[in-house]
Chain A
Amino acid sequence: MATPLLSVTDLQVGFATERGLLRAVDGVSFDLAEGQTLGIVGESGSGKSVTAKTLMNLLPSYARVEGSVMFDGRDVRAMAAERERHFWGVEMTMVFQDPMTSLNPVKKVGEQIAESLRVHLKRSRREARDDAGDLLQQVGIPEPKKRLTQYPHELSGGLRQRVVIAMALACSPRLLIADEPTTALDVTVQKHILDLLDELREERGMAMILITHDLGVVKGRADQIMVMYAGRTMEQADTATLFSEMRHPYTEALLETIPRVDMASHSRLVPIPGSPPDAVDLGQGCPFAERCRYCSASCLIDQPSLEQHRQGHACACHAPVGTDAGAAAHAANHETGVTPAGLDMGTFATAVGEKT
């Protein structure tokens, strides 16, 4: 296999707080090849956004970062020290959840796009303006000439996000990181934006990291998926494998807990009991153990490491779903009615009268 475009190895990000070290990202590794899409799925606090911001060198200076990030054979973290200006925004760029974080509210849209073209690509004023119009056209903005002279607040949320994407694409990046790019948008617009990102990625052979809390968003779009929880990678696989041979109880729980439009009314959702753990005080063992129905005694004391079950499918669990160990752990918990973490197995059973 050729050298991947982006290679992240054992990334650790911590923040010192008064209560102790907050491990935002703990041992994340992945490779991303040119033209591929990696989906990072996790809830708030899972470390998915911090991972992206580490790649983009956007963390505050007090963050403690360890591990290596190689982009096309270059060490990105060493570059940060040299104040490499023409890397971020040119070769690697990012689209945020809220388009207004990337847009200057008092500058016209056209000026903002032209500015990055002039700074990074040394275009003349005139060229930059023409190119800006072309870019808006490419991201599917109707009447691009008119939009160039408008201010961000005059645009709808969907159009703003398109402008941000146009800005991100201005310098033809090789990697685009999209952090919840559609969470703030309506579903009808969300689909348009995700489709647009997909098209542009294909056209330009760009690699993409798509960060989301919704497994459904990455299902049809990512080549690989990484599921994160409490700063750690829980499961990592190519998309088809992940959905057909899901191994981690957290991934399974996420899928079962989210309602889908094709489910009958009043179908009972299997809840994930409890709440996500405190990132400062994770203790030993698996961070999901407290909420897991496959929990065994060893899960509470021994943190499972991320192991490859087979080529391209890794999972950090002592008793993975679909294995003998998993079945045994589940049966044992079912028997006693309570998991070793003290969770009542009845929580998962049908407590509400099903109507269908």
Chain B
Amino acid sequence: MDTPPQVDPAEQFGVVVARRLGFGFWIAAAWIIIIVTAAALAPWLPIADPNETGVGGRMDGPGWSNWFGTDSNGRDMFARTIWGARVSLIVGFFSVLLGICVGGTLGMIAGYFRGIVDRIISFSVFVLLAYPGLVLALLIVGLAGQTLPIVAMTLGIVAIAPIARLSRATTLAYSEREFVAAARVLGATDRRIMVRELLPNVLIPMGALTLLGMAITIVAEGGLAFLGLSVEEGFSWGKMIVLGSSPRTLREGPWVAMFPIGAMFVTVLALNFAGDRLREYFDVRELGIGAA
């Protein structure tokens, strides 16, 4: 009698308790929306040209004319932070999208068909997982060049393995459900079962993962930047941080590194928080429906 089970009143009485995402989620979501909108509309916003030198003085501190100050070339840091978001978010979004399209599909195929197909895919995933992600990224970017699509694709490839694993596990769990058996008895084809019955269920954790994945890839892109492997043209937050973090710049104008760091920090935090809340929200919902 060591561990008596706890009573969950809601579950016991079959009451579907209304779930909420909470205030924190909406703050996080608001931040994400602001930053995405600002990044998307950057060319049309009434801000300085991020590459124009001499907008302010060199290494001006934050103030009314340049909110985030200027860098050693006199470029406006506020404009640069917004423009930097473009690259960071594009890399984050498209790499995760690639990871989900490829990894999600592979995982579903492995989880649904099982057997030899599953063994081949799972083995490839293990190999990919065993290979250090950063080394892989170094290899690809080094060989294929430092353009935006290549960087995004590289990080996307690194994301395939973990996403495939999650997708496979989710698919396996749902394949056991009787509604899948019911669909087969009705005469549904494998493709129809995967698209109509499994996909909507697998997409939910994937959706939450998109946000978490973006957070990870934005940081990872920063990591690449430190190795000098970020995009060559244009700049991301990561590249800005690198540019702002020489000892001299840090001493004379810490804001040059601080604002992109801050932007990245808050964005990653918001993405993680929102993603986690979403995941929890849908998990609980799943329980409410009564997972066996």
Q: Which residues of A contact B (CB under 8 A)?
A: 15, 17-19, 22, 24, 44-45, 49-50, 53, 56, 58-60, 63, 88-89, 93-94, 96, 101-102, 104, 116, 167-168, 278-280
Q: Determine the residue in chain A with the shortest Cβ distance to B5.
A: A101
10 A-B pairs besides A49-B12, A53-B4, A167-B1 with CB distance below 8 A are: A19-B17, A22-B13, A24-B12, A44-B12, A45-B14, A49-B7, A60-B7, A94-B1, A102-B3, A278-B15
| Nearest opposing residue in chain A for B6, CB measure | A60
CB distance from B140 to the nearest CB of A (A): 45
Q: B13 to A58, Cβ gap below 8 A?
A: no
Interface residues of B (CB under 8 A from A): 1-7, 9-10, 12-15, 17-18, 20
- CB contacts (< 8 Å) of A17 on chain B: these are 9-10, 15, 17
User: Is A58 in contact with B7, judged by CB distance below 8 angstroms?
Assistant: yes
Q: Are A18 and B12 neighbours in the complex by a CB distance under 8 Å?
A: no
Nearest B residue (CB) for A98:
B5
Query: In the bound complex, do residue B18 and residue A18 qualify as a contact, i.e. CB atoms below 8 Å apart?
Result: yes
A246–B15 Cα distance when bound, in Å, is 31
Q: Chain B contacts of A278 at CB under 8 A?
A: 15
How many Å lie between the Cα of A255 and that of B131 in the bound state? Answer: 65
Measured CA separation A324–B20 after assembly (Å): 51
Closest Cβ–Cβ distance, residue A24 to chain B (whole Å): 6
Residue of B nearest to A16 (CB): B9
**Chain B: interface secondary structure?**
loop
CB distance from B292 to the nearest CB of A (A): 14
Q: How far is the CB of B11 from chain A (nearest CB, A)?
A: 10
Report yes or no: A58 in contact with B4, Cβ–Cβ below 8 A: yes
Whether the pair A63, B9 counts as a contact (CB closer than 8 A) is yes
Scoring B2, B5, B9, B18 by chain A CB atoms within 10 A of each residue's CB, the highest score goes to B9
> Bound state CA distance, A18 and B16, in angstroms?
10
Complexed CA–CA distance, A168 and B20 (Å)? 41
**How far apart are the CA atoms of A94 and B10 in the complex, in Å?**
22
* Interchain CB contact (< 8 A) of A45 among B2, B3, B4, B13: B13
A56:B12 contact, CB within 8 angstroms: no
A53 to chain B: closest CB distance in Å?
A: 6
Q: Which of A19, A50, A102 contacts B12 (CB 8 A)?
A: A50
Closest B residue by C-beta to A116: B1
B17 contacts which chain A residues (CB < 8 A)?
17-19
Per the bound structure, the CA–CA distance linking A102 and B18 in Å amounts to: 32
The CA-CA distance from A59 to B9 in the complex, in Å, is 9
CB neighbours of B10 from chain A (8 A): 15, 17, 22
Q: Is the CB of A59 within 8 A of B14?
A: no
A22-B9 CB under 8 A given contacts A44-B14, A168-B1, A278-B15: yes
Least CB distance, B21 to chain A, in whole angstroms? 13
**Once the chains bind, are A101 and B15 in contact (CB under 8 Å)?**
no
Tell whether, in the assembled complex, residue A104 and residue B2 are in contact, meaning their CB atoms are under 8 Å apart: yes
Contacts of A56 in B (CB 8 A): 4
Would you list 20 pairs from A and B whose C-beta atoms are within 8 A, ordered by A residue? Answer: A17-B9, A17-B17, A18-B18, A19-B17, A22-B9, A22-B13, A24-B9, A24-B13, A44-B14, A50-B7, A53-B7, A56-B4, A58-B6, A60-B6, A94-B1, A102-B3, A279-B13, A279-B15, A280-B13, A280-B15
**Chain B residue, CB-CB nearest to A53:** B7
Complex Cα spacing A187 to B2, Å: 28
A102-B9 contact given A17-B15, A18-B18, A19-B17, CB 8 Å threshold: no
Question: What separation, in Å, do the CA atoms of A15 and B5 have in the docked complex?
Answer: 17
Q: How far is the CB of A139 from chain B (nearest CB, A)?
A: 15
Closest 5 CB pairs of A and B: A15-B9, A279-B13, A45-B13, A58-B4, A101-B5
| Interface contact A19-B15, CB-CB below 8 Å | yes
User: Complex formed: what's the CA distance from A279 to B6 in Å?
Assistant: 19
Nearest CB in chain B: distance from A202 CB, A = 23
A18-B17, A19-B17 known; A101 vs B12 contact (CB < 8 Å) = no
The winner among B1, B2, B3 for most chain A CB atoms within 10 A is B1
Instruction: Report chain A residues within 8 Å CB of B3.
Output: 101-102, 104
- Distance, CA A116 to CA B14, complexed state (A): 35
Residues A93 and B6 in contact in the complex (CB < 8 Å), given A19-B15, A44-B12, A50-B12 = no
B208 to chain A, nearest CB (A): 22
CA–CA, A49 to B4, complex, Å? 13
Q: Once the chains bind, are B1 and A89 in contact (CB under 8 Å)?
A: yes
C-alpha gap A183/B9 in the complex (Å): 20
Contact partners of A63 in chain B: CB under 8 A: 7, 9
The minimal Cβ–Cβ distance linking B217 to chain A, given in whole angstroms, is 36
| Residues on A with beta carbons closer than 8 Å to the beta carbon of B1 | 88-89, 93-94, 102, 116, 167-168
- A44: chain B residues within 8 A (beta carbon): 12, 14
Residues of B near A168 (CB, < 8 A) are: 1
Give the distance in Å from the alpha carbon of A279 to the alpha carbon of B18 in the complex.
15
With the chains together, A104 CA to B14 CA distance in Å? 28
Cα A112 to Cα B214 with chains together (Å): 48
Q: How many angstroms between the C-alpha atoms of A88 and B4 in the bound complex?
A: 11
B27 CB, min distance to chain A CBs, angstroms:
21
- Are B4's CB and A101's CB within 8 A? yes
A71 to chain B, nearest CB (A): 17
Report Cα–Cα, A15/B1, bound state, in Å: 25
A15-B9, A63-B9 known; A22 and B4 CB under 8 Å? no
* Chain A residue nearest in CB terms to B2: A104
Q: B18 touching A19 by the CB < 8 A rule?
A: yes
Instruction: Give complex CA distance A101, B1 in Å.
Output: 8
Bound: A88/B15 CA distance, A: 30
Cα(A18)–Cα(B10), bound, Å = 10
Find chain A residues with CB under 8 A from B15 CB.
Answer: 17, 19, 22, 278-280
